[in-house]
Structure 1
Amino acid sequence: MKLKIGQLNELQVVRKTDIAYLLKSSDGEEVFLHQNESDHRKLEPGQFVDAFLYFDAKGRLAATLHEPYVTAGNPGVLKVVAVKPGLGVFLDLGISKDVLLSKDDLPVDESLWPQVDDQVYVDLRVKARLTARPIPYNEIRLITGNLNVGDEVSGFVQVIGNIGYFILTDEFNLVLVKKSNVRKAYRLGEILKVKITYETPSGYEGSLIDFKEVVRVDDSKLIMDVLEKEGGRMPYDATTDSETIQKVFGLSRKSFKRALGLLYKERKVKFEGNETILVKSNE
């Protein structure tokens, strides 16, 4: 049997050295199992074990009897344990060596990279070294029929796409959240709650927008923040075009007008020409 890196291999114990066991396959290929990787088991020559094969920190082929959370061809959800700018993020594989999710498989914008304790659904990629590969949405088996419109479920961002986000729920439902149903940018692996808004034969759609009244208050705060940064006067009002509003505030024109109306109703702003002006407390 040829050694399969990134997978469990049935190997036979040949002998024990001062620091390791020598294992071999049925084809006679040999690999070392450090005693620290024996999972506290005492092994005897001739005994067969199921060992996971990986590359150690020095790039050498090594074995462990600790069972990994994911093996090549058997994807699973791994947690982020470290972020290395310019390199990628490291995921807890369940063995002594973490696995790298390379920058090549992450967004160009590092602010969208997963952070510590975020989660990513990955498989293992075996080349010159063992790395993680995020599973794209079209490779995830769709599960439908177990959620209802209006349900709020937990999940994490698995894919950041051109049309929006694909959220993988705790029950492995895949939920598409279009950009029109978000209020901010979310990072890959970010854990959140998504509200189910629609069900189709091909999957679910959802929203990351809070209830309307809460959103209106939050949007008003965004406008106030910009006003204060602009010194109490800004060249934007209800007539400003959608593209400018989206660029400056990250809001749709409808949401901007609604929040602006709330501020005007509360007498926090007034309008002159095409400008919005902060109302001073003594006015």
Structure 2
Amino acid sequence: MIHIVFNEPDISVLQKAIELDESLQGDVVLIRDDYAVGPIANVYTGEGIEARKQFWRDVLAGTDAEGTVDNGEVDDYKTVAELVGSMRRNPDEIIWIWAAQNKHDVSGYYWLLNYMAEFQGRVFILYLNNLPFINEKGLIFYPEWLSVIPPKEFLKARKLARPITLSEFEVDPDEWKKLMQENKGVRILEGGKKLGHHDYDYYDADLKKFITNDWQKASKIIHQFLSKNKQTTGDMYMLWRLKQLAAAGEYDVQGELKGFKDFEVKAKSAVQASAAEQE
């Protein structure tokens, strides 16, 4: 058995669940890229793969993560090639895809499905869509991420495993192809497995709400956004968007537009704003 997850924190909680139930024994494989943001046109060809790499080079430029695009740390295509090889060599091998109700997991599921079609009947989905679980305090909650589910609750979740149907292998890739053709920069989960598509500046209006008249480090602005906004995404993407806004001259900036703590941002002063309007 091979377990596939789409977020690094999911690995440890699933491994703890495996320790509680030997029937779940198997390798846990991580799909690392965040397919809820960035270009996805021709994402299975060399051209599309390079476009995504360049997107992440731009997003991560100047941060501690700069260089990870080209050092082999994130290579989902190599990961999936190894998965396909294992499935072909071992006809009894099966795959369990774990996904919670969030845009990141669902986008990853759609991307992965392209490689799983030949193994129909051996690929199972555990989609925790609007399902209640019990947290550590004994209260019912509806998790958006696998990592927040207590390991013992995974033992109940395993009962949800079902083969991905032939119909799903036909319909779901068509939905993904439509998004690939539109090739916008942000995907939002609208319910079930339905993804909406938006431009790269989708989060900008909400991000601006956390920029005040006082100097704030980028890290603080983004933390406020991630903790208070209804729709969020990865912190690196939001740092990139903040740098885009700052570089456009919409706000006062001090420091270098690099990492989270390298620069500060505040609203333009009234005098500056008035002068800019007159120009």
Which has the larger helix fraction? Answer: 2
- The reply to whether TM is greater than 0.5 is no
Q: TM-score, normalised by structure 1?
A: 0.28
Which has the larger strand fraction? Answer: 1
Q: TM-score, normalised by structure 2?
A: 0.28
Q: Which has the higher contact order (CA 8 A, sep 6+)?
A: 2
Structure number with greater Rg is: 1
